[in-house]
Amino acid sequence: MSDAKRRDNKGRVLHVGEAQMEDGRYMYRYKDPYGKRKTVYSWRLTSGDPTPSGKRKEVSLREKIREIENNIKRGMYTTDMTVCELVEKYLTTKTGVAYSTRQGYQFVQNLLAKESFGQRKIVEVKTSDAKIFLIQLQESGKGYSTVCTVRGVLRPAFQMAADDDMIIKNPFQFELHTVVVNDSVKRDAITREQERKFLEFIEKDPHYSQFYDAIFILFKTGLRISEFCGLTIKDVDFRKNVLRVNHQLQRTSKMEYICAPPKTECGNRNIPMKPEVVEAFKRIIKNRPKPKVEPIINGYTGFLFLDKNGMPKVSQHWQKCFQLILQKYNNTYRVQLPKITPHVCRHTCCTNYAKSGMNPKILQYIMGHADVSVTLDTYTHIKEEDAKEEMERLGLLNVKEA
């Protein structure tokens, strides 16, 4: 056997895996820890070699080889996996999620597929790259909530890659507020006076009065709109005067109806009903149209609110209803009402209970929140007049100085 060693055109001995191509460029072939064959190239074999005329200056082949070997020793396996491929792999681990959550995942995948960032190799993404990507998303017109959604998928996806030793550190491990501006509009509760005017207008309106009881219930129970839409006759317990919440109704983009568990486990709850809420439910059930065929969705039937086709109303119906009522109100009166949606009803209910001094843990249960901090920090809106009213009630503003 010949013991002659392979050499380059300068007579230098080439190591195992190294070779020189006919055009003079060097290449190195190897297998990554996953058994996938890889190749890197350079116009220079060592750092001391000059760059050929007309060629782009780059790291020498042996410097690239040392970086590959060091990365493998440190657990940073060289991989061609792109950001899109990583997200796809991560999402295969997310099973049993709600339909709305799956829709959010699909949105992020579609967005990344259109962005050049989605095609980048994950081993090349640095923390600065991650920050710049999120900043560019916001500058391109994406809202803060959208940026939060995207980052909410990328952060755990890259953490999975770090845990699998595919990368050394998670480039998205930073506080979002330090990078992008929270320009989202805060969803404030309306005042008691605004709530009263809105409900009185609905009650007296010849057309929209048919929705009064339903909207009154939304203001007084704090139900999520999907929970409200999923209510059936059996969920209203007139014997104990409680409202049983154990599912929510949604309609997919393919017009498929789904009854799913509440947003969180704490969403399963029995809400005590005030007498006026009880009476509102009685009127709704009494006036409920009788469809030719009762719709059955995932075993649930007897839905309280049906559309003209005899199918359960979904959130889009009520969003449009609120929009039209508010538009008519503001076209009628000089003093305008702020934007009111089914979710504003939920905020308002929670805030009113908090102002009334309800125990935070009880309020948490009624709202179906998994964390009491959500109840107190997100869904209650205490303002200057509220603070003044409370201090007056306690007599703190009536104390005269000695």
- Our answer to whether residue 224 is catalytic in this structure is yes
What does 308-376 look like in DSSP terms, one character per residue? TTSSBP-HHHHHHHHHHHHHHHHHH-SS------HHHHHHHHHHHHHHTT--HHHHHHHHT-SSHHHHH
- Our answer to whether residue 379 is catalytic in this structure is yes
Cα separation, 269 vs 222, whole angstroms: 12
Cα separation, 391 vs 324, whole angstroms: 39
Q: How far is CA 26 from the centre of its chain?
A: 48
**Catalytic annotation, pick one of 25, 263, 269, 355:** 263
- Our answer to whether residue 369 is catalytic in this structure is yes
38 bridge partner residues: 30
Report helix, strand or coil for 181: coil
Helix (H) and strand (E) counts in the chain: 14, 8
- Our answer to whether residue 247 is catalytic in this structure is no
- Our answer to whether residue 343 is catalytic in this structure is yes
Q: Which helix (H) or strand (E) holds 37?
A: strand 37-42
**Would you state the structure tokens that stand for residue 10, as one six-digit string?**
């300068």
**Catalytic annotation, pick one of 44, 220, 313, 346:** 346
Q: Is 25 exposed, middle or buried (0-12, 13-18, 19+ CB in 10 A)?
A: middle
Q: Residue 229: phi, psi to the nearest 5?
A: -65, -30
Cα separation, 160 vs 95, whole angstroms: 16
Torsion of CA 306, 312, 313, 316, to 10 degrees: -160
CB 78 within 8 A of CB 34: no
**Catalytic annotation, pick one of 151, 220, 224, 381:** 224
**Would you state the structure tokens that stand for residue 51, as one six-digit string?**
């760059």
Instruction: Give the β-pairing of 242-245 and 248-251.
Output: unpaired
**Catalytic annotation, pick one of 25, 269, 328, 343:** 343
Q: List the one residue out of 183, 59, 72, 175 whose CA is nearest residue 127.
A: 175
**Would you state the structure tokens that stand for residue 91, as one six-digit string?**
């999402």
**Would you state the structure tokens that stand for residue 366, as one six-digit string?**
């009624």
- Our answer to whether residue 177 is catalytic in this structure is no
Give catalytic residue positions. 224, 263, 343, 346, 369, 379
